[in-house]
Amino acid sequence: MTCTISFLPVGNADSIVIQTDDSMIVIDLGNLSVLEEWIEQHQITKIDRIYITHAHGDHFPSLIKLTTFIDNYQSKIKIEKIHLPYKVIEIATQKMVSAQNDPKNGKLRFALKRIKEWYINREIKHSPIFLDGENYSDKILKIEPLHPSQHYIESHFGLDKSKLNEISVVLRVVYGEFSAILLADIEGDGLTELLQLKTEFTANVVKIPHHGAWPKNGEDLKTLLEFIDPEIAVLSVGSKNQHGHVKPELFDALTNLKSNSLKRLNQFICTEVTRTCKSSASDCSAMDKKGLSSTEKCAGEITIIAEDSGKWTLKTETNHSNVVRSFDYAACTERADLI
C-alpha cells in the first residue's frame, strides 16, 4: 500500500492530487484542463475531498468554472465534499442581491443554485476549513489543516483581498510515518502566525509557498523551512511567470539548507523551467522579470510515492536530471548566480 502525491505541471499555480487505495483528494484547481486530463488518464471514479486553499485564480478558477467542472463529471465521478475558500459563497450571494437584475450575473446565479442543490440533495457537501476544524482520514491517510484558525481570519482578514495569501489553507498530509506539508501561498503575517503554532512541523516533503516568491518576512520562511526539515522541497512554478519567480533569495535559502549537514534536505525540484534555470546571469538581469516565452517542463509532473514506513520515492514526468544538465544554471540544483 502506498500514498502518492502528484504535483501537476500547471504553471504558476497549484493543483495537487493525493491517492491511496481508499482515498482520492484534490488540492487546488490551478489549471482545470490539466487536472481533467489527469482524471481521465487515471480513470478516477470518486473524489473524496477537494480543498481550495484560497480564492486566487491560480488556485480557484471561479465558482462558475468549478460548477461547470463538477457538472461535467458528476455522472462519472462521485464527489463527496469541497472545502471552499472562506466566505466565497456569501460574497457571491451578496453580489447577486445587490445586482439582482443584471443579466451579466446569470452564470453566477446558476452556479450558486447548483451548489445549493448539491447541498440540499446531499450530493456534494461544502464548507470552509480551519485549523482545529475537520480532519480528513481514511485507514492510514490523514489530512489536517494547520492554518488559518477561524479566529485569525475573522480578526485579521475581514474581506481584504490583498490578504488572501495570508489566510491560505496550509495542510499536513500524514500517511503512517510519512508526512508532507503543503504551504499553499502562505506569506506575510499568515506565515508568522503559522510559525507560532505549537506543533511538530517535521515533514518528509514540503511544497514551497507561493510558487517560489520571497516574502517580505523571508526570515520567517527560512525558520519555517528549518523547522519542517524536509528531505525534498517541491516548487510549483510556471515558465511564463512575470513575477521573477523563483526568487534567488529562495534558492539561497534552499541551497543553505541543502548544504547544512544537520538538515535533511537533499533535493529541490520545480515543475517548470524558469528564466533563472535557463539563462546566464547577465541575460537574467536583462530579462528583468519577464518570464520565458513558452512553457517548458523541468520535472513536469512530480510524484512522491510514500510508504507508511516513511520511505518514499520520487517519480518525475521528464528525465529531470537530463533537463537540469542542459542548463547553465539549473535552478533546482542550486540557484543561478544572479547579479
Least distance to Zn ion, CB of residue 22, Å = 29
The nearest distance, CB 203 to Zn ion, in angstroms, is: 20
Write out the residues near Zn ion by the rule CB under 5 A: 56, 58, 165, 185, 270, 298-299, 332
Pick between residue 67 and residue 276 the one whose CB is nearest to Zn ion: 276
Cα–Cα distance measured from residue 51 to residue 129, given in angstroms and rounded to the nearest whole number: 8
Closer to Zn ion by CB, 175 or 312: give it: 312
Question: What nine digits make up the cell of 66?
Answer: 468549478
* Comparison of 27 and 270: residue with beta carbon closer to Zn ion: 270
Closest to Zn ion by CB, 165 vs 279, is 165
Cβ of residue 192: shortest distance to Zn ion, in angstroms?
17
C-beta of 164: minimal distance to Zn ion in Å?
A: 6
Distances (CA, A) of 144 to 172, 175, 304, 308: 5, 11, 19, 17
Residue with Cβ nearer Zn ion (39 or 55): 55
The nearer residue to Zn ion, 49 or 238, going by C-beta atoms, is 238
- Any bridge partners for residue 120, and if so which? none
Q: How far apart are CB 184 and Zn ion at their closest, in Å?
A: 7
What is the smallest separation between the CB atom of 125 and Zn ion, expressed in angstroms? 25
User: Could you tell me which of 52, 86, 55, 54 has the C-alpha nearest to residue 70?
Assistant: 52
Query: Which C-beta is closer to Zn ion: that of 225 or that of 298?
Result: 298
Q: d(Cα 147, Cα 166) in Å, to the nearest integer?
A: 9
Complex with Zn ion: residue 92 or 182, whichever CB lies closer: 182
Our CB check for Zn ion shows the closer of 91 and 96 to be 91
Query: Which residue has cell 535533511?
Result: 264
The backbone torsions φ and ψ at residue 153, rounded to the nearest 5 degrees and listed phi first, read: -60, -45
Shortest spacing between CB 8 and Zn ion, in angstroms: 14
Please state the closest distance from residue 214 (CB atom) to Zn ion, in A.
14
> Residue 20 Cβ, how far from Zn ion at the closest point, in Å?
26
